[in-house]
A and B are shown apart, each in its own frame.
Chain A
């Protein structure tokens, strides 16, 4: 299901967001298909795009500079100004045994450095996972919540990377705006219930962009595949340079273009392959490879 833009008044968006936050009993969940997430006047698809040349972001492009095809059909693009959409930054951190000590300290420092660069209307959230996944702070403008939570976290247990990442995706969808999920892990998954395929399937229905940060002896294939599916990247970082990695990710995310369009000439269910290119100069373009809409 695509993330439908709310083109209504801000008040309605807030009301809808408030409804999402209610603790709805699980046994009253409806399994109706395609239940709208937000009230809309205009339905559209949003695609986060990173344009680089020689590893440097290309700035100053307009909608006219892009060409976008949905399942091979050219689409009419609108370019959303980045200042019109707030950022939702969801941090999902591995707190298994192996993150104890210096690695956890560096994780805290890197997170604090990141939080300091957030703008007043950016939201942040913190999800941690050992074998247990915990929402430390939901998405909010209150940076202090994440700051305080970082001070109290401890590392202990196994690694539910897949479940933790899934929950990070869901948290990232809980507010309007552009959502960035940064997943840090130094290990492979050892404790999750969900399969990697299920979570990647979820990501195909979501606008959340995932960046994975691996700091261990082996890179998680799940995290790599998930990052690629969402148009993000997988980075490997030593414990000592996490702060610069976190900042570079946020900076890169801020410099992405947000293209929107209303799909025309294509089915409204199933997998949609996306092709995005810049018409001039042939720079490198990174965007999600597609999206999934409709029920499974």
Chain B
């Protein structure tokens, strides 16, 4: 069976690529360098001109380049950076190997002169970090806003030992499933990888660090909030190697783990067969809940003031069957849940745990409080109804739904925060991107 990473849905596929004899590679590499230098010049210009946060012409142009064209260009970026900033180059080198064949020879003297000419552009030379940051943002904007089409993935029959021939090239494969509607498998958006590669090469400084940190927070929130779990998983892995104690990244990752434990994801994964021995990289609900619990605890260790992390941790514990612990945690958090949405979630979860431990009065009070916070939301009405029905009160069950039944289908205030619960920090991704762009406008040190 092919090892696969998948989630609502992503698949990581280990495939095989043929090895070309060394001499042929050298000849091919030489022929390729001239266009690659030209492309690097175009890329630098695109990075310099791109309006971050926009699907502008620069983003569209770079989006049209193939993975092969970009992977041949980036080693030259490494050379360029070596000419101006050895630290940035050395930081970039190990990450480049994942995405491109390493250059089999150094560029010629003429090519280096060309590169040196580019290197002496004031803009790059003055601040190589800025090139890397803006380059990363360009590729992230391509992934998020341009959304170039990607080729369909068709699993090949396994050959040889463990299905591999020669050297393997890792490529990420995802399964698209909007609203749990399986649409097929395709390769992941490699521009996310480019963005991470570039940003992770940024040398540490007081300006760069908060930008990179906020970029990871915003993009991770966006990916997990949109349930692009296959793209989000490596994203979190990278982010937490750079910022292992960042409370927001830990929190956001925990939210994603909890979402992956949700009945919608679990049932879809269990009931959707994939072809060719491919399987989803989704664990059991219990495993994801335990991951979420650990991550929420780490987030709270990093920032004990995160009320939402406490509320979500309680929910995870309830889902693990530890309702008394959950109820205790929620009761302790209640005075600090001043935001209406947080108070709403807290009341719903407290009600649910109260039902589980036989405290019907507490449950009813909690659900009623939730209904008062968002009078047109359906969840508290449904919860009150089911509570009544479970106690044999059919009339009460119907009456509890009365306010819901009275709402027209297109009522503008029918919003229910429960519908956004599993988006986690995705609810704030637009605001996070706005903060990021404001941070970029500040002059660098």
Contact = CB atoms under 8 A, between A and B. Distances in A.
Interface residues on B, range: 35 or more
B366 interface: no
Given A26-B402, A133-B404, A136-B409, A190 B264 contact: yes
Interface string A118-159: 000000000010011111101000000000000001000011
Main secondary structure, interface of B, reads helix
Interface stretch (A191-199, A228-236, A251-259, A274-282): A191-199
Contacts of B389: 170, 202, 205
Contacts of B407: 134
B185 to A, nearest CB: 14
Contacts, number: 164
A31 B402 contact: no
Contacts of A33: 391-393
Given A23-B399, A24-B399, A188 B267 contact: yes
Interface stretch (B24-32, B99-107, B213-221, B376-384): B376-384
Contacts of A196: 263
B403 to A, nearest CB: 7
A221 B267 contact: yes
A37 B271 contact: no
Contacts of A20: 395, 398-399
Interface in A241-296: 293-296
Nearest to B371: A26
A4 B99 CA distance: 69
A66 interface: no
Contacts of B398: 20, 170-171, 173-174
A188 B180 contact: yes
Contacts of B396: 24, 29-31, 35
Contact of A295 (B182, B268, B390): B390
Contacts of A25: 399
Given A35-B395, A158-B419, A188-B264, A193 B181 contact: no
B400 interface: yes
B401 interface: yes
Interface string A196-230: 10110110010000000000111111100000000
A128 B337 CA distance: 34
Interface string B410-443: 0000101011000000000000000000000000
Given A97-B179, A191-B264, A295-B390, A31 B360 contact: yes
Interface in A51-93: none
Contact of A220 (B182, B267, B394, B397): B267
Counting from the closest, the 6 A-B pairs by CB-CB distance are A24-B399, A190-B264, A218-B271, A1-B392, A37-B394, A23-B402
Given A24-B395, A24-B399, 4 more contacts: A133-B378, A159-B264, A170-B397, A218-B267
11 contacts: A22-B399, A29-B393, A32-B391, A98-B178, A133-B404, A191-B264, A193-B379, A194-B386, A220-B267, A222-B267, A295-B391
Interface of B: 178-182, 263-264, 267-268, 271-272, 348, 360-361, 364, 368, 371, 378-379, 381-407, 409, 414, 416, 418-419
